[in-house]
């Protein structure tokens, strides 16, 4: 006697998880990075104003200090690897610095939006698939160009064209090195500690 054939009811396939959808851990880590750099922003602003007199002979040279302000956008994107990470991290960091008190007031939030959107465009142009060193450096440099444009419009419109060009070049170089290379190296250092284990950036060895 043969056993009756078991009838299996079709099961509904579970919906695929969108790899670009933000998770709770993404929000928490991006926010933590942003808050930490918001404090750094506040301190760096004090240093920027304190050292301004040292560059009286050639003010555009102070642009070499600017790269620190552009780290969160590139770093947030490299860690989270989701659309909007650069903008989110940069804007939140700017908000924190504004709340702590800054000579530039809420204008820093506008800066944060633009300086976050600039590297975001670089990662978006590459369809959020490239997280290598050259991409990070270009993202940093583009953020630097955006920052230089804002400064020239709001603060240095009376400078000569040569000074404006020099400032833009110095700032872009600073951003490429500090925000680009620096963020890339920082991600690798954090990955070795295991704190980025929930992220692809922490589970793989990022190659040049």
Could you tell me where the DSSP H helices lie in 81-160? 85-100, 107-125, 133-154
Residue 159 · residue 167 · CB < 8 Å: yes
pLDDT score of 205: 55
Indicate the pTM of the whole model: 0.88
d(CA 118, CA 177): 16
d(CA 137, CA 145): 12
Tokens, residue 122: 């670089």
| Closest to 112 (Cα-Cα) out of 48, 49, 34 | 34
Where are the chain's structural domains? 24-203
Q: Would you call 162 helix, strand, or coil by DSSP?
A: helix
| Cα angle value 38/39/45 (rounded, 5°) | 90
pLDDT score of 15: 52
| Cα angle value 199/115/46 (rounded, 5°) | 100
**Second CATH level (architecture) for the domain 24-203:** Orthogonal Bundle (1.10)
The per-residue pLDDT string of the chain (208 residues; one tens digit each, 9 = 90 and over) reads 444 544 454 444 445 567 789 999 999 999 999 999 999 999 999 999 999 999 999 999 999 999 999 999 999 999 999 999 999 999 999 999 999 988 888 999 999 999 999 999 999 999 999 999 999 999 999 999 999 999 999 999 999 999 999 999 999 999 999 999 999 999 999 999 988 999 989 887 544 4
Contacts 24+ apart (CB under 8 A), 49-52: 49/103
| Cα angle value 157/158/159 (rounded, 5°) | 95
């Amino acid at each position: 006697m043969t056993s009756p054939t078991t009838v299996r009811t079709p099961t509904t396939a579970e919906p695929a998880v969108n790899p670009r959808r933000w998770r709770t851990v993404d929000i928490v880590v991006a926010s933590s990075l942003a808050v930490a750099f918001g404090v750094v922003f506040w301190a760096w602003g004090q240093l920027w104003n304190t050292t301004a007199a040292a560059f009286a002979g050639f003010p555009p040279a102070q642009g070499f200090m600017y790269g620190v302000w552009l780290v969160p956008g590139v770093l947030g994107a490299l860690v989270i690897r989701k659309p909007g990470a650069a903008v989110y991290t940069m804007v939140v960091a700017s908000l924190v610095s504004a709340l702590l008190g800054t000579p530039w007031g809420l204008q820093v939030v506008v800066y944060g939006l633009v300086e976050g959107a600039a590297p975001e465009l670089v990662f978006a142009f590459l369809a959020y698939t490239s997280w290598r060193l050259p991409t990070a450096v270009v993202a940093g440099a583009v953020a630097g160009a955006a920052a230089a444009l804002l400064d020239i419009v709001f603060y240095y419109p009376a400078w000569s064209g040569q000074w404006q060009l020099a400032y833009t070049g110095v700032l872009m170089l600073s951003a490429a090195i500090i925000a680009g290379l620096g963020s890339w190296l920082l991600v690798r250092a954090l990955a070795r500690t295991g704190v980025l284990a929930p992220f692809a950036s922490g589970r793989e060895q990022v190659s040049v």
